[in-house]
Chain A
Amino acid sequence: FHNLQELRHSASLANKVFIQRDYSEGTTCKFQTKFPSELESRIELTLFEETVKTLNNFYAEAEKIGGQSYLEGCLACATAYLIFLCMETRYEKQVLKKIAKYIQEQNEKIYAPRGLLITDPIERGMRVIEISIYEDRGSSGSSSGSSSVSGSTAR
């Protein structure tokens, strides 16, 4: 597969894997980095771990309780939270925008060429990272995991 469009049109969905939440540190949003067995033949462990760890870092940064979140909280309270009608919250900016962009990037560069597709966890209630596994319907197996794809873009 060369891109996401091809993936959607020429492949059929074979299976879905759900990466569960890791609650060991409490209720903060964090996903398990355990490598599911269904993906073993499809993608390298390091790439998968890199994706999940980066996502975890994004969520941790968004939920960090520090100076900026206090400021936002106090300012919003002073305006009876009406300011949120005009302004996006810091969390929304971080989670919805940054992560959506990152996931799309990862899909385009790493996962689609391997016949996989990551669904943004927010579409599943932040419960799971859903990874869809596609099988090529028509053509015979082509070269897999070509290493010409550059390493994942770490932020």
Chain B
Amino acid sequence: MSAVMITRKVRKWEKLPGKNTFCCDGRVMMARQKGIFYLTLFLIIGTCSLFFVFECPYLAVHLSPAIPVFAVLLFLFVIAMLLRTSFSDPGVLPRALPEEANFIEMEIEAANGNVPSGQRPPPRIRNVQINNQIVKLKYCYTCKIFRPPRASHCSICDNCVDRFDHHCPWVGNCVGKRNYRYFYLFTLTLSLLTIYIFAFNIVHVVMRSVDHGFLNTLKETPGTVLEVLVCFFTLWSMVGLTGFHTYLISLNQTTNEDIKGSWSGKNRGQNPYSHKNIIKNCCEVLCGPTYPSVLDRRGLMQEDSPAAANSEGPCSFDNPVAQTTKTTAPLIPNEHTPDDVKPSIAAEKSSGPKDDQPPAAMLPPLASPETDAETSIAKNQ
């Protein structure tokens, strides 16, 4: 009996760093904590089921059959948008491979010159000019890259995300460049659905009470009370959130920039990404091109030669011949980050993925502001 080695084909998503969970062999990508996402699904499906069971038969007969039909369409659209937001790659930037990280390190060393020992090295910042506005690009110690403008590192998912908006626990994923429009459409259509169900619940109760009396109506359709309660609370938060994001889109800002106050206050009117035209801004965000994912989750890992297998970074996807070049510049891993950054990083890790209340009082705890080292330093100073 000959022993046959069957090596399982490993897909790239299995080796991706970061704290995401993947399903369906890499097709689905979400954050680790999915509890609140399940709650969202349960609330939407539960409330709509009650509506279809209790109110729709009466309304279809006494008012119009179009009412349940439209409700079904709206409900399906909401679920589609929710799943699209939750399951897709928000625009994660892959971490730098060792050679790229070394290259950047060497550039930084060259730029800094000689730092006398004992002195803190200057913060790693690159200044770029975008549309006549100086924007600072920060260096990400985890991903070992200079973050592109508008990108930010999500501490919950442990990834840098392009055009980072916020991490939404209700959808169980980050909201970034690739799924922002789905998120916005989700909030918009969910607001409409909530208003729709709420309105027709009231109509139904009124109509039925005229015939049967108020208390009898509540006895016949007990689901109504529950629906009204859920809709009432959901309505205020969803309408508020939709309004807030409509405002952000018209100015071409992200929640992250709004919370940090990048383009408000004394910087008002200087947003270099805005087209200074509300229609153009809306069109860019909602009708712009749909960017492909750069993560390549379902690609097959190439077989590595054993020598390269003990590199600390993720497996190299490079062509098999290219070995990791030895360079003299030291790779600075996380243990060597400047001392004043360490306590802030430790504090972030211990606090865990708690939701911070965003400054806007009308928002429920949706946005977890990204916590990066430099912001913490700035706040501490």
Instruction: Assess whether A130 is interfacial by the CB under 8 Å rule.
Output: yes
Give 7 CB contacts A-B under 8 Å: A21-B148, A23-B135, A23-B137, A27-B150, A77-B185, A119-B318, A122-B294
Complex contacts, B284 vs chain A, CB 8 Å = 65
Residues of A within 8 A of B291 (CB): 91
Chain B residues whose C-beta falls within 8 Å of the C-beta of A91 in the assembled complex: 289-292
* Cβ-defined contact, A126 with B80, below 8 A: no
Stretch at the interface among A9-17, A39-47, A48-56, A142-150: A9-17
Taking the complex as formed, is A132 at the interface, i.e. its CB lies under 8 A from any CB of chain B? yes
Asked if B273 contacts A27 (CB within 8 A), the reply is yes
- Rounded to whole Å, the gap between the CB of A70 and the closest CB of chain B is 5
A125 contacts across to B, CB distance below 8 A: 93-94, 294
Please tell me which one of the listed residues A74, A90, A128 contacts residue B289 in the complex, with CB atoms under 8 A apart.
Answer: A90
Nearest B residue to A81, CB-CB: B84
Given known A-B contacts A81-B80, A125-B94, A24 and B130 have beta carbons under 8 A apart: yes
List the interface of chain A (C-beta within 8 A of B): 8-9, 13-16, 18, 21, 23-27, 62-65, 69-70, 72-74, 76-77, 80-82, 84, 89-92, 95-96, 119, 122-128, 130, 132
Per-position 1/0 for B256-275, Cβ under 8 A of A: 00000000000000001100
Interface residues of B (CB under 8 A from A): 76-77, 80-81, 84, 93-94, 96-97, 99-100, 103, 128-131, 135, 137, 145, 148-150, 163, 182, 185, 272-273, 283-284, 286-292, 294, 296, 317-319, 321-323, 325
In the assembled complex, the CB of B128 is this many whole angstroms from the nearest CB of chain A, namely 5
Instruction: Report chain A residues within 8 Å CB of B128.
Output: 23-24
Residue on A with the closest CB to B280? A65
Q: Which residue of A lies closest to B325 (CB)?
A: A13
Given contacts A13-B323, A125-B294, A126-B294, contact A69 B288 (CB under 8 A): yes
A89 to B300, CA, bound (A): 23
Q: Let me know if B290 and A89 touch, CB within 8 A.
A: yes
By a CB distance below 8 angstroms, the chain A residues around B163 are: 27
Bound: A124/B95 CA distance, A: 9
Residue contact B292 to A89, C-beta cutoff 8 Å: yes
Whether the Cβ atoms of B294 and A65 lie closer than 8 Å is no
| B290 lies within 8 A of A127 (CB) | no
| Contact between chains at A13 and B322 (CB < 8 Å) | yes
Give the docked Cα–Cα distance between A15 and B182 (Å): 42
A15 contact from B94, B286, B289, B325, Cβ within 8 A: B325
Residues of A within 8 A of B77 (CB): 80
- Whether the Cβ atoms of B292 and A27 lie closer than 8 Å is no
Q: In whole angstroms, what is the CA distance A23 to B131 when docked?
A: 9
Name the contact of A23 in the complex, choosing from B93, B99, B148, B318 (C-beta under 8 A).
B148
Complex CA–CA separation, A91 to B321 (angstroms): 31
When the two chains form their complex, are residues B317 and A123 in contact, meaning their CB atoms are under 8 A apart? yes
